[in-house]
Structure 1
Amino acid sequence: MSAEMVISLAERGVFTVILVAGPLLITALGLGLIVSIFQATTQIQEQTLAFIPKIVGVLLALVIFGPWMLSQVLAFAQQIYSNLHQFVG
């Protein structure tokens, strides 16, 4: 297995992780920003207020994007296992 193959495999793995984690992270970021703006305008400084909307939002995003995320991870794993003979020996 050459160095280029290892780098290519690592690059595809990192890209898959970023692609799969992206929707959940963007959802948490957006909800955190909205709650922060709400807290700043109403001067409610309760720190636990930010957690509940994020948890609910990420859970909903996981329900919505879950099948797509699973298909991306399974496609990557299937590609790895189908080319396993190139990696060994």
Structure 2
Amino acid sequence: MDVNELTSMFSEAIFLVVAMVGVLVVPGLLVGLLIAVFQAATQVNEQTLSFLPRLILTLLMVVFAGEWLLQQIGDFFNRLFMNIPHIIG
């Protein structure tokens, strides 16, 4: 296996991790930002106010995007395991 194939495999793995984290974290960050703007506008300084909506949204994203996330990581590992003979030999 040459260096180009190895680097493309690593770049695909890193892109997969970034995509998976982005799907789960970015919506929570946006909701947290909206709640922070609301808190700043109303001067409500409650720390726990933003926790529950972010938690619920993250759990909903796991429910809705979980199948896609598992499919993507399963496909990647399947390609990785199928390439083991090519990597070794």
TM norm structure 1? 0.91
1:64-79 alignment, distance < 5 Å: 64-79=64-79
- Residue 57 of structure 1 corresponds to 57
Give the C-alpha shift of residue 22 in structure 1: 1.6
Q: Work out the CA distance in 1 between the residues paired with 2:38 and 2:64.
A: 25
- Calculate the aligned-residue CA RMSD, in Å: 1.1
Q: Work out the CA distance in 2 between the residues paired with 1:13 and 1:70.
A: 14
1:30-41 alignment, distance < 5 Å: 30-41=30-41
TM norm structure 2? 0.91
Deviations 1:15-69 (A, max 9, x none): 1111222211221111111111111111111112221111111001110110011
The runs of at least 4 consecutive aligned structure 1 residues that moved more than 3 Å come to: none
- Residue 80 of structure 1 corresponds to 80
Deviates more, 1:17-26 or 1:60-69: 17-26
Deviates more, 1:53-62 or 1:20-29: 20-29
1:13-24 alignment, distance < 5 Å: 13-24=13-24
Q: Work out the CA distance in 1 between the residues paired with 2:55 and 2:11.
A: 30
| Aligned residue pair count | 89
Percent identity reads 34
Q: Work out the CA distance in 1 between the residues paired with 2:12 and 2:35.
A: 35
- Residue 26 of structure 2 corresponds to 26
